[in-house]
Amino acid sequence: MREFITRVLGLDGYRVLQAEDVDTGLKLARENRVCLIVLDLRLPKLDGWHFLEWRGKEPLLLAIPTVVFTASAGVTQREKALCMGATEYLVKPLSADQLKSSIDRIMQGRRCGNHER
């Protein structure tokens, strides 16, 4: 899924950083000017719920829109993620057009690096 997201968003002009786990994702988000986080809830070691929990405690991370991209279609999980600060909750499988549309809608009018999206 990381490769799919990277390819789709890269073709749309986004620079994409990849993290395979929560620790790497937190480090990348803290050390780079990240404009958006796309998060899977099922990750090795610690899951995406841990990321959302830590994100909620750090003002720098809390300001970054976070899109949960997961196979968990349950209403309870969706509500929990949104209550924990997720900006959007997308359920796999998702087409490239649906992904781009959601990301573009979130990024509309936001300054991101040298580009206005």
pLDDT in tens, 17-55: 998 888 888 899 889 989 999 998 887 787 888 889 988
Angle at 41 between CA 61 and CA 91, to 5 degrees: 110
Show the domains of the chain with their CATH numbers.
2-105 (3.40.50.2300)
Across the chain, mean pLDDT equals: 87
At 113 the pLDDT is: 53
In this predicted structure, the answer to whether residue 112 has a pLDDT above a threshold of 70 is: no
At 96 the pLDDT is: 93
107 or 47, which is more confident = 107
Q: What is the pTM of this model?
A: 0.86
